[in-house]
Structure 1
Amino acid sequence: MSATGRFFCADAARSRDDSIVGTAPYGSVWVLIEYRGGWPVNGFDGLDLDPGTKALVFSAAQAVRARVLLVRRHGRHAPQGPRRWAVLRYEGTGAHRRRWGTWNRDEDLAQIAQALGASGEPVNSGDPGAPGEPSDPGVPGVPGGPDGRPVVLVCAHGLHDTCCAVRGRPVARALSERWPDLVWECTHVGGDRFAANVVVVPDGVYYGNLDAGSSVAVVGEHLAGRVHAEHLRGYTDLFPPQQAAVAAVLDRFGPAGRHDYTVAGTVRDGDRWRIRVTGRPPGPPALDVEVRARRTPQHRLTCRGPATSSAVVYDAVSVRPS
């Protein structure tokens, strides 16, 4: 509870020291739709759009398990001109696929369904040394996405959860001041109690428990090709115990590039997993990580509802060279 007696789920999670490891939702395709008006509590689903176009986009996204997010630039002064949309796809090689477009009328969003049905344009991920990528992540005037650099999303969906606005907007402000062309506020991404949440797409990396200062440091490191274990919720192409295994390796051996470690094998035995993680030099070539699952006591996990529930936590209990 706050000093005023109001419940904030992120404050409660920090007081309990809730683990953020292994909490990134699974997925590899994202649809971003710039929407400058008020966001409904349920995001895209609640928009008053042309029914046929809306159904078309929803069906196409569902077919490839894409997540549809509304986005906007931070600040009160809305940009002028057509609104943008994007379809971003993660690929394990780092040569992600992206397609961007603009829309003025609802019917223009039908292009999203077409893009979801196509392969998209292959573009390098922005890791250092990737061909055609600018070496300085702070270069001004480079649009977020079409040039191949990641898009940085900050959940600021206050109508969905108060903490997303209270903690997300200061982070969006700080990141937008540093990288104005890469950063967008977005609707709900999951894990309200870990606000402020930042998702880098199409890299598929979730960060949580951020504030203005830590977010600039974390995103700066990410853009420079170094993912740190601190604040890492997980990689979206991995399942929770695998996310926990990679986080444990990063914690022990230090930051590494998004694709420097690969999950090569997973064996489950009840509430335990043995996960083989292989790495690129100079990191260790192969490691066996044991991960154990446990369930927390019942707690109130979001601001919006009084209901309580438990969460599954994934602990890495050992990291050994294989």
Structure 2
Amino acid sequence: MAGTASPGLVWVLIEYRGAWPPNGFDGLDLDPEVKALVVSAARAEHARILLVRRPGPRRRLGPSSWAVLRHQGPGMYQQLWGGWEKDEDLAGIVSALASPGDPGLPPVILVCAHGQHDACCAVRGRPVGRALSERWPELVWECSHVGGDRFAANAVIAPDGVYYGGLDAESSVTTIEAHLAGRIHAGFLRGYTDLLPPEQAALVAVLGRFGPAGRHDYEVTETLGEGEHWRIHIIGRPPHPAHIDVELRARRTPLRQLTCRALAEGSVVVYEPTSVRTSSSPQRGSESSD
């Protein structure tokens, strides 16, 4: 599971209370011109468009919400929120994507529950969404496909850009509670969306070796790959180790059914840590944990 967070620093959330088509926003029956404007603006910002709704019974009346969430750097998160009733109201997303957002807002907790894309996401995701919304009702949304259906239930913390997978109702509450307290654990972590897959896997290995840490307590400073072998250098803030070298081996899994709806078997690349060691400098290693 480590190293499977989909890359991205900008999210567009659109509350939609009707049925979600398998391809999400692209499949909605909206004004074509407005839809094209939103898609074009999102692509220009490399933003991901997700449909969202509150867990539980669907609210039918009143305006729906949209949001642009942006991760601009360590601890630099911005959000802009708006509302829409008519299709043309969604054009506000275009200007929001080109504008600075509001800092300091609490993160959004997204739980994939996109049953039309993959039944596993709905079966496993909806109980997680309900459990989390009982604890943090203002923060939690069900969302459309985020990737990695085989790891359902999946949760994404945005704009932090942190993916969790393999959750159930109980583990999701303890995992998100720790995250919000600045203690990210390795156990259900898929990765950070601002890192490459091998970097994500290396950081998960570091958290597993040295214990939980805050979102920006570690920084990847060097990534070297040759064939199936990777070497990642990570620096940490006190009280964490200052310099850590992680070595990984990339391998492709055997063919298997990757999702509930998969019509054919597939294979993916996984990154297995072979060594996690601290060092006094980026070049010299010691205290190996192989």
Q: Do they fold alike, i.e. is TM over 0.5?
A: yes
Could you say which residue in structure 2 is the equivalent of 1:237? 194
Could you say which residue in structure 1 is the equivalent of 2:254? 297
Retained in 2: the 8 A contact 1:92–1:259?
A: no
1:222 Cα deviation after fit: 0.5
Matches within 5 A, 1:30-41: 30-41=11-22
Retained in 2: the 8 A contact 1:31–1:85?
A: yes
Could you say which residue in structure 1 is the equivalent of 2:183? 226
Could you say which residue in structure 2 is the equivalent of 1:276? 233
Gaps of 5+ in 1: 1-19, 125-147
Could you say which residue in structure 2 is the equivalent of 1:54? 35
Matches within 5 A, 1:107-118: 107-118=88-99
Equivalent residue letter for 2:127: P
The alignment covers a number of residue pairs equal to 279
Equivalent residue letter for 2:39: F
Retained in 2: the 8 A contact 1:40–1:46?
A: yes
SS of structure 2 residue aligned to 1:58: helix
1:228 Cα deviation after fit: 0.3
1:95 Cα deviation after fit: 2.0
SS of structure 1 residue aligned to 2:29: coil
Retained in 2: the 8 A contact 1:287–1:319?
A: yes
Pair 1:98-2:98 in alignment: no
Distance 2:40 2:234 in 1: 36
1:303 Cα deviation after fit: 1.2
Could you say which residue in structure 1 is the equivalent of 2:112? 155
Distance 1:64 1:270 in 2: 32
Pair 1:72-2:53 in alignment: yes
Could you say which residue in structure 2 is the equivalent of 1:256? 213
Instruction: String of CA shifts for 1:110-161, please: whole Å, max 9, x gaps.
Output: 010111122323x13xxxxxxxxxxxxxxxxxxxxxxx11100000000100
Tell me the C-alpha RMSD between the 2 structures.
0.9
Matches within 5 A, 1:60-209: 60-78=41-59, 80-121=61-102, 123-124=103-104, 148-209=105-166
Deviates more, 1:77-86 or 1:188-197: 77-86
Retained in 2: the 8 A contact 1:276–1:288?
A: yes
Equivalent residue letter for 1:41: P
Relative to total residues, which structure has the larger strand share, 1 or 2?
2
Equivalent residue letter for 1:229: A
Equivalent residue letter for 2:147: G
Retained in 1: the 8 A contact 2:52–2:142?
A: yes
Distance 1:23 1:217 in 2: 21
Identity of aligned residues (%): 66
Distance 1:271 1:65 in 2: 29
Pair 1:308-2:289 in alignment: no
1:79 Cα deviation after fit: 6.4
TM-score by length of structure 1 reads 0.85
SS of structure 2 residue aligned to 1:159: coil
Equivalent residue letter for 1:281: P
Distance 2:34 2:126 in 1: 31
Retained in 1: the 8 A contact 2:17–2:58?
A: no
Distance 1:220 1:305 in 2: 33
Could you say which residue in structure 2 is the equivalent of 1:25? 6
Equivalent residue letter for 1:205: V
Distance 1:62 1:276 in 2: 32
1:80 Cα deviation after fit: 4.1
Instruction: String of CA shifts for 1:201-242, please: whole Å, max 9, x gaps.
Output: 000000000000000000000111110000000000001000
Distance 1:271 1:32 in 2: 37
Distance 2:261 2:74 in 1: 39
Equivalent residue letter for 2:234: V
SS of structure 2 residue aligned to 1:98: strand
Retained in 2: the 8 A contact 1:232–1:247?
A: yes
Gaps of 5+ in 2: 280-290
Distance 1:194 1:318 in 2: 25
1:245 Cα deviation after fit: 0.7
Instruction: String of CA shifts for 1:228-270, please: whole Å, max 9, x gaps.
Output: 0000000000010000111011001100000000001111111
Distance 1:175 1:49, change over 3 A: same
